Chain A
Amino acid sequence: MRYRLLTAALAATAALQFAGPAAATDLEVIHWWTSKGESAAVSQFAKAFDNDGHGDRWVDSAIALGETARSTVMQRVLGGDPPGAAQFNPGRQYEELISGGKLLDLTDVATAGKWDEVIRPKAIGSACLVDGHWWCVPVNIHSNYWAWYSKPVFEKAGVPEPKNLADFIAAAPKIKEAGLIPFAIGGDGNGWQIQLLFQDMVTEALGVAQRDKMYTTKSAEIAGGPEMKGVFTQLRTLKQFTDNGYANRNWNDTTNLVITGKAGLQVMGDWARGEFAAAGMTGVKDFGCMIGLNEAKPVVSTDGDIILFFKQGNADVEAAQKRLAALLISPEVQVAFNNAKGSMPVRGDVDMSTADPCMQKSLKAVEDPANIVTATNRFITENTNQQLNELVAQFFADDSMTADDATAKFATIIGSSD
């Protein structure tokens, strides 16, 4: 008697499960969007996926710091328990995942959504389109080529707002005299912030064409040349204008120094704009943005984020993965996400009239292909990337290492990269 009731209850729950939406699915997504502006942006994805009408649920796995999140994903894949989806940066970080057959082929979703037509510029799509198959979804275009500065700081120090890096270096001593930190930077995660600055300076010093040639031909000659020595010398100059709390600081705490008017300028990708927005600031009066390291030569890089989907061996889950893939790139989600994040949408056919003055600058620059800098990650593997991180971070931390030494080491790394 008692058992009959229990059985009936069990049967009812089982029936309910089948009566619900055909394929209600939880999908775990690993990403490193952990700062205030970033989590505001990623919640747009989660909201859209939770309300897609199929009863799907976005299971959020946010892991701070890109290299930590990526290595977690790699370990999970190797251990046979891949997450449903994961954030990566476009480049060579995932080439072995493709060749190892770990990723879900999204070609049918892409064909249905005409991705090859709507995604612009082409370089963004090519990060995912490998051998005629789509392996990932580009979700935004981030440019690493930005400097953000606090207008009140420059006012207080009585110096004009900078138009290029040389302006800033000239103004920096005055800011220091005013008791403020002229140059904000952080050294966490193996020094990736320092390398971002360094790469911006390399492009500025070599020019886009010469820089691309150095990375594609792995030219130790260009990498060991006088321009590169100039970059290292300038990097040492910038170090004098930092504060001594930089060593372990992450990027958003660094941005916060600029937001709160404690520091003058930070070189960081445009995800920093999301922090300013989350702090309620606009790019008209509170903070300024310098596109590239030289307003006269605006450049936009094709960095950004992509979402990879992993093979699950379960048709229901794969259907949900494909629903999410289509959703991420849909016009409404693109606008909501990118406005919160500070990045540009990957499709040119959406209305970005609400974008702030800084993004308007990049939307204008991206129209001219000559302004587009290919992301460094496209040329180099994660191994080389980390070697460069280490070199630049070591040079930045250790004043006894000369610019000549650093240039020679840089040439060796580039020359022997694979």
Chain B
Amino acid sequence: MQKSWRRRFHLPAVIGTIPMILVAVGVFVIGIGFSVLWSFTSSKLFPTYDFVGLAQYRRLWADNRWLVSVNNIWFFGLMSITCNMVFGYLLAVFMDQRIRQEDLFRSIFLYPFAMSLIVTGLVWQWALDPNLGLQEALRNWGWSSFSFAPLVSAETALYALVVAGIWQGSGVTMAILLAGLRGIDEDIWKAARVDGIPTWRTHMSIVAPMMKGAFATAFVLQCVSVVRVYDLVIAMTGGGPGIATSMPAVYVIQLITVRQNVGQGMAAATMMLLPVLVVLAFSGILLWRRNRLREAGA
């Protein structure tokens, strides 16, 4: 009895994880609990406990800006995750060719990720500003009809954000996938070559499936960065022009701090939590089923 408890909970491990447990419970669980609680109240500037049921949610889903934000996050998320994974993998394959100056290239590709999004966002904003950046520079060099100002038009601003997101995120995807690639046994490549399998086919059918773990890590990191995308938007467009590039996280912060409408902001935050919970529950069920099957098999 005593022995099995010891085996399950190593004392050093428990002590080591106590800070993490405290943070997780204190900040996340309690914080999220209050967010959800206040989303059912009529809180304005100060949180109150005047419960109004689902009224805040009804107002939220009637708010045009929220609907635009939700549409934007889907578009931004699908585009940037897909492109990041593809470009990240291609970059990793490129880096895996035993090229010269590998360290230099790796630093260059990882550089965008190492810098603050506020800084890189601002640089992007300046570069794309029609009066300061690329457009003005090329016009001054004599190409007077050149026109390139994606951030000032409501139709194109979101694409500019996606491009900046890819520029920022593909480096780290590359680093993770490169580590995965390096973990593949050299003999597998040799065997595939002996069997006369084309390189692309080896990548698609053999190597990629073996790198499931690396892909999953990169994918989860990408998803997290999409859900909380905030600083990039603030630095590049401020959610504009108009409300064209508003995102859920931007919306939540705006409601709580500027619009002094805590209740509705918390309702929006709770809505952001829902898809995450659904994914968690789904993967939890999968894991549980797999464990049960394995136990039954054993």
Contact = CB atoms under 8 A, between A and B. Distances in A.
Interface of A: 67-68, 70-71, 74-75, 78, 93, 96-97, 100, 187-191, 243-248, 381-383, 386-387, 390-391, 393-398, 409
Interface stretch (B86-94, B169-177, B206-214, B238-246): B238-246
Given A246-B152, A248-B237, A74 B260 contact: yes
B240 A245 contact: no
Contacts of B131: 243, 245
Interface of B: 44-46, 63-65, 125, 129-132, 149, 151-154, 157, 237-244, 254, 257-261
10 contacts: A74-B45, A78-B45, A97-B45, A188-B238, A247-B151, A247-B157, A383-B261, A387-B63, A393-B242, A396-B242
A35 B277 CA distance: 46
Nearest to A382: B260
Contact of A394 (B63, B149, B242, B258): B242
Given A96-B44, A188-B238, A248-B151, A397 B244 contact: yes
A398 B152 CA distance: 10
B260 A96 contact: yes
Contact of B254 (A96, A386, A391, A395): A386
Contacts of A75: 257
Most interface-central of B46, B130, B261 (chain A CB within 10 A) = B46
Contacts of A188: 238
B95 to A, nearest CB: 36
A356 B64 CA distance: 44
Nearest to B261: A383
B22 to A, nearest CB: 21
Contacts of A189: 238
Given A387-B259, A390-B243, 10 more contacts: A70-B258, A96-B44, A187-B240, A189-B238, A244-B153, A247-B237, A382-B260, A396-B241, A397-B242, A398-B241
Contacts of A393: 240-243
A382 B157 CA distance: 27
A372 B238 CA distance: 34
A383 B129 CA distance: 30
Nearest to A381: B260
A382 B258 contact: yes
A387 B243 CA distance: 11
B154 A383 contact: no
Given A96-B44, A244-B130, A247-B152, A397 B240 contact: yes
Given A74-B260, A383-B260, A96 B64 contact: no
A97 B152 CA distance: 37
A381 B255 CA distance: 13
Nearest to B253: A71
| For the complex of A and B, 6 pairs with smallest distance between CB atoms | A397-B242, A71-B257, A394-B242, A397-B241, A245-B131, A96-B45
Contact of B154 (A100, A245, A397): A397
Contacts of A67: 258
B121 to A, nearest CB: 11
Contacts of B261: 383
Most interface-central of A190, A381, A396 (chain B CB within 10 A) = A190
A372 B147 CA distance: 45
Most interface-central of B45, B46, B239 (chain A CB within 10 A) = B45
A96 B46 contact: yes
A390 B254 CA distance: 12
A97 B153 CA distance: 38
Contacts of A397: 153-154, 240-242, 244
A75 B262 CA distance: 12
Contacts of B63: 387
A418 to B, nearest CB: 9
Contacts of A390: 64-65, 242-243
Given A191-B240, A393-B240, A244 B149 contact: yes
Contacts of A248: 125, 129, 151, 237-238, 240
Given A247-B241, A383-B261, A398 B154 contact: yes
